[in-house]
Amino acid sequence: MGSDKFRILLVEDDEDDYVMTRDMLYEIDDFDFELEWVDGYDRGLEAMRANRNDVCLVDYRLGEPSGLELLRKAVALGCKVPIIMLTGQGDRKVDIEAMKAGATDYLDKSEIKPHMLERCIRYAVERHRLQEALNEERETFFSTFRKAPYGIALFEKDGRHIYLNIEFTNITGYSLEDVPTMKDWLNKAYPDPEYRRKVIDTWKKDEDGKGISRVFKIVCKDGESKEIEFRTTAIDQMRFVAILADITERKRAEKQIENLTRRLLKAQENERQRISCHLHDTVAQNLSTLKIQSETLFDKQDKLPPDMKEKFLNFSRILQETIQRVRDLSYDLLPPILDQLGLVRALFQYSEDFYKKTGIKVDFSSAGLHDTKLDFDVAINLYRIVQESLNNIQRHANASHVTIRLVAAFPNIILRIQDDGKGFDMTHRMSSARNEKRMGLRSMKERVSLLGGDFNIQSFPEQGTKIVIEVPYKIKNNSIKINSNG
């Protein structure tokens, strides 16, 4: 800063004091300055309001009105330049009054020296420049917050709210006057004490400030209930910023999609049941009748020519294979054992049949569900997930062994499916599955989501694949339903 030229305004009614101050400035080494001198209140006020200088030196004993009154008036009218009060009174009360009125610093004329004057000017100017830069950054900061398309709250560690932007108020209805502290916010946004405790306990787990996203239902100022997604991040050790978005409409749309998907899957299962019954009761029966009747066509023939006999045997074999395939298809569409004996027996039987068809060994075991008749939606969806998983393993995994575990761990049912196949790269597979519109994993995820559960998959090249599913425990009973989601 030694090479900067300081533009200095001196408001001083005594010409001798002006000359003394000017000469003192000239004595300072490596100090380039431009001095403007005015000798009265009115001209001083006009020059200070112009804000064309870097620093103002104002004499306290200016006359009437005093330099202190000039200081107050200039600050009130928009003087942004740092002001140093030259008191010369030896009165600490005057110095304190000057600082309260807006002075950056003060100097006693009787004690002032060139080096003191230089240090005071440099400090005042540098502090002012830093403050201006800080104010500009602050304005940019808050301008960004004001224009943000989501709600923003700044708060101290002690819970005091510093700032709430317009969108925060638009979303919630609450202003800074309504919720000056975090306690006020919690009491108004979460009036139910039990739910409020849940919210507080959840946030306490996130005190490390990593910005974990959470979704809560709030009560707005007008009484409307909204689903809000929150993300809180630490700015520093004492301040935090909370960002919130109103996802009520999105959640409503997701619920509609979920209901539609549930209805589609239900319709799909109903159609499968209809087709299964038709295949079993009509097509398979008709084919069996045809086979029986065909075998009596030549009962009265003593001897058939060899070529005709071979054709007839071939025809009978094809009919038998067709009957078996129709029955298998009917069973796959809706295994009767699922409704008759329950999910555990149905999966055990399917695992055995899968091994006979593919040669892939399936180690299936269950715990806590053998004597339980599950809700049909839970049973059929878990059955379909196992069915889809084994089909995927057969087509893609090149596995020789699969382990399936079905465990009741109240309030959930846990299903784990693990193979020793070639595995895959998770990122690449998920991306290609979306591009190729594959429905295997997506269908399983949708079924788990509809049951209100969690779906997790782990896989690495040459290390096999493991799927872990947790869904709420529901018992098939008209009078009792155990459901962790309430």
- In a domain, residue 13? The reply is yes
126 with 22, same domain? yes
According to DSSP, the residues that pair with 467 across neighbouring strands are 417, 457
pLDDT of residue 37: 95
187 with 322, same domain? no
The number of domains in the chain is 4
| Nearest alpha carbon to residue 467 among 432, 437, 441 | 441
Mean pLDDT of 69-85: 92
Summarised one tens digit per residue, pLDDT across range 325-370 is: 888 888 777 777 787 888 899 899 999 999 998 999 999 999 988 7
| Nearest alpha carbon to residue 483 among 343, 331, 378, 341 | 378
374 with 486, same domain? yes
Percent of the chain topping pLDDT 90 = 40
pLDDT of residue 475: 66
Summarised one tens digit per residue, pLDDT across range 444-481 is: 888 898 888 999 999 888 889 999 999 998 766 433 33
- Listed in sequence order, the residues at least 6 apart from 209 whose beta carbon sits closer than 8 Å to its beta carbon are 232, 233, 234, 240
pLDDT of residue 117 exceeding 50, the answer is yes
- In a domain, residue 253? The reply is no
pLDDT of residue 144: 79
Name the band, by pLDDT with cuts 50, 70 and 90, for residue 483: very low
Name the band, by pLDDT with cuts 50, 70 and 90, for residue 211: low
35 with 166, same domain? no
**Mean pLDDT score of the chain, rounded to an integer?**
85
268 with 234, same domain? no
CATH code of residue 101: 3.40.50.2300
Lowest mean pLDDT among 153-162, 163-172, 420-429: 420-429
367 with 293, same domain? no
Summarised one tens digit per residue, pLDDT across range 359-415 is: 999 999 999 887 777 888 888 899 989 999 999 999 888 999 999 999 998 889 999
Pairing of strands 361-367, 401-409: parallel
Mean pLDDT of 9-20: 92
CATH code of residue 200: 3.30.450.20
CATH code of residue 361: 3.30.565.10
The single residue listed with the structure tokens 């997930």 is 385
Name the band, by pLDDT with cuts 50, 70 and 90, for residue 213: confident
What is the C-alpha to C-alpha distance for residues 314 and 298, in angstroms, rounded to an integer?
15
- Listed in sequence order, the residues at least 6 apart from 481 whose beta carbon sits closer than 8 Å to its beta carbon are 375, 474, 475
- In a domain, residue 251? The reply is no
Last residue of a domain, one of 221, 246, 271: 246
Are the C-beta atoms of residues 435 and 390 closer than 8 Å to each other?
Answer: no
302 with 161, same domain? no
Percent of the chain topping pLDDT 70 = 92
- The whole domain housing 48 covers 5-141
- What is the amino acid identity at position 174? Y
pLDDT of residue 122 exceeding 70, the answer is yes
pLDDT of residue 146 exceeding 90, the answer is no
324 with 344, same domain? no
- In a domain, residue 479? The reply is yes
Cα distances (angstroms) measured from residue 447 to each of 43, 358, 385, 389, 434? 82, 26, 8, 13, 17
- In a domain, residue 134? The reply is yes
349 with 402, same domain? yes
Last residue of a domain, one of 246, 266, 299: 246
- In a domain, residue 57? The reply is yes
pLDDT of residue 35 exceeding 90, the answer is yes
Lowest mean pLDDT among 41-55, 160-174, 194-208: 194-208
106 with 177, same domain? no
Summarised one tens digit per residue, pLDDT across range 270-296 is: 887 788 788 877 888 888 888 888 877
| Nearest alpha carbon to residue 82 among 110, 108, 109, 106 | 106
pLDDT of residue 468: 95
Mean pLDDT of 95-102: 85
234 with 348, same domain? no
- In a domain, residue 252? The reply is no
Cα distances (angstroms) measured from residue 389 to each of 277, 362, 450, 471? 25, 12, 18, 17
User: What tokens does 417 get?
Assistant: 């499916």
Last residue of a domain, one of 309, 334, 359: 334
29 with 165, same domain? no
- In a domain, residue 278? The reply is yes
Mean pLDDT of 179-193: 94
pLDDT of residue 478: 39
